[in-house]
Amino acid sequence: MKIQILGSGCPKCKLLEEKVRESVDELGIKAEVVKVTDMEEILDMGVMMTPALAIDGDVKSVGKVLSIDQVIEKIKETM
């Protein structure tokens, strides 16, 4: 599983990354967590607001920092 955090590196993007990493640890799964900061790549994924969360290339959330429970829910939906 590949989980992408899309954003410029702003505090909200960093917070979402932290919550994603905590969620992966809590679930005990193997996942590659990747930060995507290239705005062209972010726009190519159809994302206009950051932070955004994508799992296996599928955008799951845009423009907000999800809670750990919300991230876990998004991950479980794709398993």
Catalytic residues: 10, 13
**Residues 73, 32, 44, CA angle at the centre, nearest 5°?**
85
Grouping H, G, I as helix, E, B as strand and the rest as coil, residue 57 is coil
Helix (H) or strand (E) holding 19: helix 11-27
